[in-house]
Structure 1
Amino acid sequence: MTNVQLKSSTSTLYKVSKRIFDIAVSICIIILLSPLFIYVAIRIKKEDNGPVIFKQKRAGLNGEPFYIYKFRSMKIQTSSKKSSKNPYNWRGGVPDDFVFKNTNGFHPDVTKIGQFLRKYSVDEFPQFFNVLKGDMSIVGPRPEILEISDHYNDYQRQRLLVKPGITGWAQINGRSEIPHGQKVEYDLYYVKHQNGILDIKIFIRTIYQAIFGKGAI
């Protein structure tokens, strides 16, 4: 395991052009999909009269926490459960064989509309507002929950060197089915090789995967 050196492609020009791309695409998607957003909000509210948006703290750029937005897909009593205790007690980093969730089958605490939202990653769409705020980018390593990122070793922490994204290199190469070690390798590949062409490639492949419901981001 070696340290990743950021390429010269992470220049001011690249950062500015990526930010412009993020803002332009996010605004277009929010406007174009606003009818879907309204429909989903009505369905979520109608099913159990709970909140439409689920907020959760995630690790952002350089590990700075921020609130990520999602359409709520879990039942109220489940999505509202909170614990101050970190459920993990790893030493020396997150195990390479760790898998955060299993997307096979339906979880009993997922709502009816939530099953659709998760299959096609529609629950992730509110994160375009995170992109507009500047907390996230459209392309980048997926933002980790703090309970996991708090256990990163120095090697794993390198995935926090860039702004987290709605989708990334790891997501188009296996999405949530891959173990943590492989996900980190994919993310660090992106950190090292990020450029505009790679961003567009990831973005296009993500659209394809979302349409066909291949795994969950």
Structure 2
Amino acid sequence: MLGAFFADSVLYFGTVTNWALLEGGMISAYVILPVYLTVALYNGTYSRRALTNWQTSAFRAITALIVAAALVNLLAFFAKSNAEFSRMVFALGLVTTAVLMTAMRFGVSRVLSRKWGPTSLNKMVIHAGGPELTLPHAIHVDAREHGLVPTLDDPRALDRLSKYLRNMDEVVVSCPAEERAAWAQVLKGSGIDGEVTHQLPREIGAVGVVHYDAAGVSALKVSSGQLGIRARVAKRLFDVAVSGLVLLVAAPLMLIVALLIKLEDGGPVFFIQKRVGRGNRFFAILKFRSMRESDDSGAQSTLLEDERVTRIGRFIRRTSIDELPQLINVLKGDMSLVGPRPHALGSKAGSKLFWEVDRNYWQRHGLRPGITGLAQVRGHRGATDTETQLSNRLLADLEYMQRWSLWQDIAILAATLRVITHERAF
């Protein structure tokens, strides 16, 4: 757009060096550009479909351009600033912009269609013993050959599966009837659109079912991505901006804490532990070390007056300072500022592992885990002595995922400031 308006200004005014003269033509581009982007982001101009369908893409772009031009003209009329715009450059700039956008989108869609096929989706079909299903432009994986099993009692098996699903937009599992429930539970925690094949809905003409006519197979949709593209971008930008700022401000405090930890017993500064993150993938969580002996599995919860906790460790645990290094996890993309808290593999509620208490437990991994979350600000934190305590946390996590909004994240962060120190932090 800026290039089109500049070129038209040069042609109309007949100069390249007289910026005072060119500014009369360019000012309209500066005004219309942010308005156009606002409209375009909401009418699907930059949607995933626009990558391979140039007609739809160009139509939406031109529509956004016309709406933006009309709004700018309306505002200029009421502000009595029409005289500052060159009407001829404004008209020529809009036409040139529309032509260039259409040409660019046509070229991009042709290139991407040759490279990707007719869709920009990354789709995978997992053949796990069900009906034969062949989808064009999809990745086909034999579950038995690659050792992929929907074992809910084995986090390592889920981690292996998550590596295959990384960067996928949709996954279809063709499996026998007795394995549908297990695959459905696994896919619910994947954070992507998941489907499990089933012949019955096709026979009875059920609604809300995906029909693959070419293969003669239908699939029940059992999961969906938690957030749309705009929501994911907004949440990620918010995470990076806030965590980066807090790390900068807290750097002196973190340096002092690191020195105190090192001086007390000469051990490592950080405690690093394997946790379950988004899509059931493992990641290494960072904390300031607060104990002399660490339990990597998380099977042994910290107790009141636990002898393993150091003197500086007791203070940083009670004030939640030990959690500050997780801001590095946020910048790396392993975690978010707000989300379900990541748990260690051996964590137990009473005598049972977390996923043994409630099979819906794996669904909480559809989003990045958070430094804080809805469960924490409601007081569900610390050791889980009973199954009820885990159930309360799980309900809060699932509620957060269903109702996510950026404003909710901000509210939770604000509420977290009130519960930084707590009696269950031992």
TM-score, length-scaled by structure 2: 0.43
> Is 1:73 aligned with 2:302?
no
1: CA distance, partners of 2:301 / 2:354 = 18
Look up the SS of the partner of 1:33 in the other structure.
Answer: helix
Q: State the AA in 1 paired with 2:379.
A: G
Q: Which residue pairs with 1:199 in the alignment?
A: 409
Bigger Cα displacement from structure 2, 33-42 vs 172-181: 172-181
Q: Who is 2:47 aligned against?
A: none
Q: CA contact under 8 A between 1:10 and 1:195: conserved in structure 2?
A: no
Secondary structure of 1:147's aligned partner: coil
> Alpha-carbon deviation of 1:213?
3.8
* Counterpart Cα distance in 2 of 1:6 and 1:188: 14
Contact residue 175 and residue 216 of structure 1 kept, 8 A: no
Query: Alignment partner of 1:138: what SS?
Result: strand
**Alignment partner of 2:273: what SS?**
strand
Question: Match for residue 174 of structure 1?
Answer: 379
Alignment of 1:6-25 (within 5 A): 10-25=227-242
Change (3 A) 1:188 1:111: same
Q: How does 1:1-217 map to 2 (within 5 A)?
A: 10-75=227-292, 78-79=293-294, 101=301, 105-148=304-347, 151=355, 154-177=359-382, 179-210=389-420, 212-213=421-422, 215-216=424-425
Whether the 8 Å contact between 2:354 and 2:390 is mirrored in structure 1 is: no
Structure 1 pair 125–213 and aligned structure 2 pair: CA distance change class (3 A): same
CA contact (8 A) 1:26 1:131 kept: yes
**2:390 alignment partner AA:** H
Q: More deviation in 114-123 or 154-163?
A: 154-163
Deviation track 1:176-210 (CA, whole Å, cap 9, x = no partner) reads 25611111011111111111111111110111211
CA distance in structure 1 between the aligned counterparts of 2:413 and 2:366, rounded to whole angstroms: 20
User: Quick check: which one's helix share is greater?
Assistant: 2
Larger Rg belongs to: 2
> SS state of the match for residue 316, structure 2?
helix
Identity %: 39
CA contact (8 A) 1:102 1:176 kept: no
Cα shift at 1:156: 1.3
Distance 2:312 2:274 in 1: 23
Q: Verify the 8 A CA contact 2:225 2:366 in the aligned structure 1.
A: no
Q: Distance in 1 between matches of 2:343 and 2:381?
A: 12
CA distance in 2, matches of 1:36, 1:144: 26
1:146 deviates by 1.8
RMSD: 2.8
Q: Does structure 2 retain, via aligned residues, the 8 Å contact 1:69–1:127?
A: yes
Q: CA deviation at 1:12?
A: 1.0
Q: Give the aligned length.
A: 197
CA distance in 1, matches of 2:354, 2:309: 27
2:203 — aligned with what? none
Q: Post-superposition shift, 1:214?
A: 5.2
The structure-2 alpha-carbon separation of the partners of 1:187 and 1:156, relative to structure 1 and needing over 3 Å to count, comes to same
Cα–Cα, structure 1 residues 82 and 142, in superposed 2: closer, same or farther, change >3 Å? Answer: closer
Contact 2:226-2:366 within 8 A present in 1 as well: no
Q: Which runs of 4+ in 1 moved over 3 A?
A: 3-9, 100-103, 148-154, 212-217
CA positional deviation for 1:216: 3.4
Distance in 2 between the 1:119 and 1:52 partners? 17
Cα distance between partner residues in 2 of 1:199 and 1:113: 30
Cα distance change on mapping 1:55 and 1:186 into 2, 3 Å: same
**Distance in 1 (alpha carbons) for counterparts of 2:246 and 2:286:** 16
Gaps of 5+ in 1: 88-99
